[in-house]
Amino acid sequence: MTDPYLWLEDVEGAEALDWVRARNAESAVDIASTPSFGRTRDAIREVLDADDKIAAVSKIGDLYYNFWRDAEHPRGIWRRTTLEQYRTASPAWETVLDLDALSAAEGESWVWHGASVRRPEFRRALVDLSPGGSDADVTREFDLVDLRFVPAAEGGFERPLGKGGLAWVNDDTVWLSADLGPGTTTASGYARLVRRWRRGTPIDAATTVFEAEHDDLAVSGWHTSTPGFERDWVRRATGFYSADLYLVRDDALVRVDVPASASAGARREWLLVDLRDDWTVTTPAGEVTHPAGALLAVELDAFLAGERRLTPLFVPTPSTSLADATWTRHHLVLTTLEHVANRLEVLTPPAPGSAPGTSWDRRTPGGVPSLGTVSVGAVDVEESDAVWLVTTDFLTPSTLSLLDVGTADAAPEPLKSSPARFDATGMVAQQHFAVSDDGTRVPYFVVGRQELVSGDAGPAPALLYGYGGFEVSLTPSYSGTSGRAWLARGGVHVVANIRGGGEYGPAWHQAALTHRRHRAYEDFAAVARDLVDRGITTPARLGMEGRSNGGLLAGNMLTQYPELFGAIIVGVPLLDMKRYSHLLAGASWTAEYGDPDDPEQWEFVRTFSPYHLFDARRSYPPVLFTTSTKDDRVHPGHARKMAALMLAAGKDVTYYENVEGGHGGAADNAQASYMAAVHYEFLRERLA
């Protein structure tokens, strides 16, 4: 295929941007000029700017920090308060850093990417800021007492723009991974060198501790500061699902000998190993095989000395998978999924020095909802057994609670609850299973008014959402945006848990890798058909949306299953699978999709490359493409070229490209509400 639209890959090229501006003007006339668009945008903006949202906090020293956006602070403020104040209905906050003021002073559209604070003094922070929302960002040292950035002239650490990071070692030393020019980045655009950088020395003089290969994904270094367990680490990611973990001792690297596909991490005495593939180890009693999806524990020093008797902390079943593992000071909290519903379990390790393979005590905490989504975060992993507990589902706003997992009979203490953003009276959320082409049962959730979800009121406009990649699980969550703009207006919302995700562990993900990719698309099509069979909707009233890898899903629904949908939204997508590995971070995803430069692999990659599957002679449903000029993860050229190809064939195409926002699509609430309104108004018009 000769690519007539290669020029649209020139992200900031004058001709390409002229094309983008022309398409944006068309979408403004087609969608954004209607009275209903303004109402939808304003209703969404009201949710995003609400001052009664839950302010999630992180404990740093004795204070609790939060990053906050609202109408007064569109770029956001980093602020802090005390726990006593946080417990009140209207806490008194102290502003630490105002991004709107900073952006105005420096003439830059700064987007918050987070901060790490040096323990145990809690005086200095390394703040990550992105220009316009790109993945590439800068790091600057910030003084939490004087509330100012520490200039490089005063010895402050500053990392230049790129895909990397800084991590504290001590007050005067950081781990550095950065783009410092030719030879310092991988083929995927991430840092290739890990260096130890001492305060007051030039960044180019930082000592190189590890150098990855050009074809590796990335490297990083960090320090764990737990008293008595201070350690330095280097992680070399050789691919998206493979990495080597090294313990740094006197600048020598000791590899932690676990499978490259496993995720490993140490906390105090313990090494945890999360398996993606089966792992056979040799013990004094003979060979033992631990299954993919299992979580194993062993004392780190013993493991480095050759001990291979590991304790299974979680072993998957056909209906369960491990979602998360969170340490507190004395315990480990496991979050698992059973048919896409969360469960919690509190584990207590045996005393240090216990016999290898000794079982951990375990119990189920009381007062935690048995349905919906539960997320856990440690309040202070060094000093406390308290965790933040956030509970939600499709129709229940989030509640933030404190739970002391160190007390057996403790119940969650609710601290904050988000108010309802739409009237959910008469609405229900149900789980169903569709049967895919190969007989696999695929779960999905349906949300909406009872009479619509049951199919008793006749076909309803429905929006089917999916992702199906990178072992990402889609769990129930409350959205005031979709509630107001879709559910409250008579729409049905559907979430499909197709293969490629992590809902049933690594096997669910691996079932749709590379040459098996078609299974994810067959699963999604099966859900679409099941919705019609149940009388919930019809193809003409069924829309679907996917973003990023989900945008690739949407592109394949468009080109392979156009008869199943009345409208399709393709957001920040991959679409040209012949070129994807040469665009921005695309080289890092060949483990997921395959290598199109390998002729043998291209034979299966081309079967799910929407840019190559498009046939101008076929009929396609109306399609909306959205992307961001600042997206430096998935190249905007994918959406641009596919839209241009379809427009040239006379198809019903709407295109909108936000100039900011990066891969998230929007840099502030105004942009986010505009983008969301474009989505919902497009669906309202096309599916009405």
Annotated catalytic sites, by residue? 548, 663
Handedness of CA 49, 52, 58, 64 (dihedral sign): positive
Per-residue confidence (pLDDT) for residue 1, from 0 to 100: 65
On average, the pLDDT of the chain sits at: 96
Distance between CA 35 and CA 552 in Å, rounded? Answer: 32
Pairing assessment for the beta strands 218-224 and 341-348 based on DSSP bridges? unpaired
pLDDT of residue 301 exceeding 80, the answer is: yes
**What angle in degrees, to the nearest 10, is found between the helix axes of 637-648 and 14-27?**
70
Distance between CA 517 and CA 286 in Å, rounded? Answer: 38
- Global pTM reads 0.94
In eight-state DSSP terms, residue 301 is H
108-161 confidence digits (pLDDT tens): 999 999 999 999 999 999 999 999 999 999 999 999 999 999 999 999 999 999
What mean pLDDT is predicted for residues 183-187?
95
What mean pLDDT is predicted for residues 638-652?
98
384-431 confidence digits (pLDDT tens): 999 999 999 999 999 999 999 999 989 999 999 999 999 999 999 999
Per-residue confidence (pLDDT) for residue 35, from 0 to 100: 87
Domains of the chain by residue range:
23-46+421-687, 61-162, 317-418
| 148: phi then psi, degrees, rounded to nearest 5 | -155, 155
Res. 75 pLDDT band, cuts 50 70 90:
very high
What mean pLDDT is predicted for residues 507-528?
98
Distance between CA 385 and CA 330 in Å, rounded? Answer: 6
Tokens 């969170």 label which residue? 326
Containing H/E element for 200?
Answer: none
**CA-wise closest residue to 505 among 291, 345, 288:** 291
Per-residue confidence (pLDDT) for residue 665, from 0 to 100: 84
213-233 confidence digits (pLDDT tens): 999 999 999 999 999 999 999
87-100 confidence digits (pLDDT tens): 999 999 999 999 99
**CA-wise closest residue to 60 among 110, 111, 127, 113:** 127
Per-residue confidence (pLDDT) for residue 70, from 0 to 100: 93
Q: Is the CB of residue 219 less than 8 Å from the CB of residue 210? A: yes
Distance between CA 28 and CA 50 in Å, rounded? Answer: 26
Query: Omega before 316 cis (within 30°)?
Result: no
Tokens of 186: 């991988």
Give percent above pLDDT 70 in the chain: 100
Res. 669 pLDDT band, cuts 50 70 90:
very high
Per-residue confidence (pLDDT) for residue 633, from 0 to 100: 95
Give me the count of residues in the chain.
688
What mean pLDDT is predicted for residues 324-334?
98
Gyration radius from the chain CA atoms: 25
Tokens 């000395």 label which residue? 305
Determine the topology of domain 23-46+421-687 in CATH: Rossmann fold (3.40.50)
Res. 250 pLDDT band, cuts 50 70 90:
confident
Per-residue confidence (pLDDT) for residue 463, from 0 to 100: 98
536-562 confidence digits (pLDDT tens): 999 999 999 999 999 999 999 999 999
Res. 572 pLDDT band, cuts 50 70 90:
very high
**CA-wise closest residue to 638 among 578, 576, 589:** 576
